[in-house]
Amino acid sequence: MNYTSIKDIDSLSEWVKEALKIKKNPLKHKKLGKNKTLGMLFFNPSLRTRLSTQKAALNLGMNVMVMNFTNEGWTLEFEDGAIMNSGASEHIKEAAAVVSQYCDIIAIRAFAGLVDKEKDNAETVLAGFMKYATVPIVNMEGCTGHPLQSLADAITMEEHKTKHRPKVVLTWAPHPRALPQAVPNSFVEMMQKQENMDFVITHPEGYELNPEITKDSKIEYDQNKAFENADFIYAKNWSNYNDYGKITNSDPNWTVSADKMKLTNNAKFMHCLPVRRNVIVTDEVIDSENSIVIEQANNRTYSAQLVLQKILKKIE
Ligand code: CP
């Protein structure tokens, strides 16, 4: 069993229920991971994913090995048949097979380069490990998805919803750097699995996400209109998917402000973090009682623990 995409969740409502059970008693399965090792390979920086996934593994009694691949590992070649007479020192074929001998589960973070859309959509690093590793793979944020984050988001919304069918708005917000689409992609995929939520995506025209992911999700280009009566506002920046990886809009009018939050139904504010204060969201909103970003980050532990627990049960 791998966990590389929201598609790997068979029943979101059941998974959320199970995660909330784990949250009540996180050490209940302390023996499940005894003598099992989680290898965490980072090709990009992290705070929450690194620490919450490690904590989840420790809660299950696992050993954990962490490697910052970019500055500690050999540069990897991913192309089959490559003549490796320059650049990369090691082929993914050996690297994945070798790491599989040391670890029972391999978790990988490898962001989009945002230069070559086709290459990013192919998830070169993640797919390379999936092809050549002989143990389960967990996606700690790839080029096109961040399924541990979105599972944590689903857990958080379940805890904070106050009505049967809440309105959830995913809003684009400005950012000075070009960011990948991984978080919003997985959030959209997770929302499509929600049975009782009214979901709207709002972003400037031209900032459409991959239509193969958004499918028939509702898009409202007027942010104020989208915010009306919302119960959850989920803010995130992403770079342009059509004009791939470019920043074609940095309009500060899209920043989530107290005035915008007034349009909502006293909505909870969510963001995956890290967040640029007073760019994505004003201090007033993120510091308000309605901001649940810290609880959201806490739930990263339980989403990771649920995933690791499910995999450990399969490989027992
Ligand atoms: N939300 C999230 O994945 O945080 P990190 O990038 O700090 O891991």
Q: Quote ipTM for the complex.
A: 0.99
Residue 160 has pLDDT above 80, yes or no: yes
| Residue 46 near ligand 1, beta carbon < 6 Å | yes
Measured in Å, residue 48 CA sits from the centre of ligand 1 at: 5
pLDDT in tens, 221-275: 999 999 999 999 999 999 999 999 999 999 999 999 999 999 999 999 999 999 9
| Helices H / strands E in the chain, number of each | 13, 11
- The neighbour count for residue 59, using CB atoms within 10 Å, is 23
Tell whether ligand 1 has an atom less than 6 A from the beta carbon of residue 270: no
Residue 290: per-residue pLDDT: 98
The reply to whether ligand 1 has any atom less than 6 angstroms from the CB of 49 is yes
Whether the CB of 272 sits within 6 Å of ligand 1: yes
Q: Give CA–CA dist 172/178, Å, rounded.
A: 13
Which atom of ligand 1 is least distant from the CA of 273? Answer: 1
Predicted pLDDT of residue 79: 94
Q: What single letter denotes the amino acid at residue 138?
A: V
Tell me, what's the pLDDT at 70?
Answer: 87
pLDDT score for 133 = 98
pLDDT tens-digit map of 35-94: 999 999 999 999 999 999 999 999 999 999 999 998 898 999 999 999 999 999 999 999
State which ligand 1 atom lies nearest to the alpha carbon of 141: 3
pLDDT bucket at 203, cuts 50 / 70 / 90: very high
Q: Indicate if ligand 1 lies below 6 Å from the C-beta of 105.
A: no
pLDDT of 316 over the 80 cut: no
Residue pair 96/136 in contact by the 8 Å Cβ criterion: no
Give the C-alpha separation, 104 to 315, whole Å.
8
Which of 42, 44, 48, 175 for mutating ligand 1's site (highest number of atoms within 8 Å of CB)?
A: 48
Angle of CA points 308, 311, 312, to nearest 5° = 80
- Which whole number is the average pLDDT over 186-195? 97
Give yes or no for a contact between 78 and 92, defined as CB atoms under 8 angstroms apart: yes
The mean pLDDT of the chain is: 97
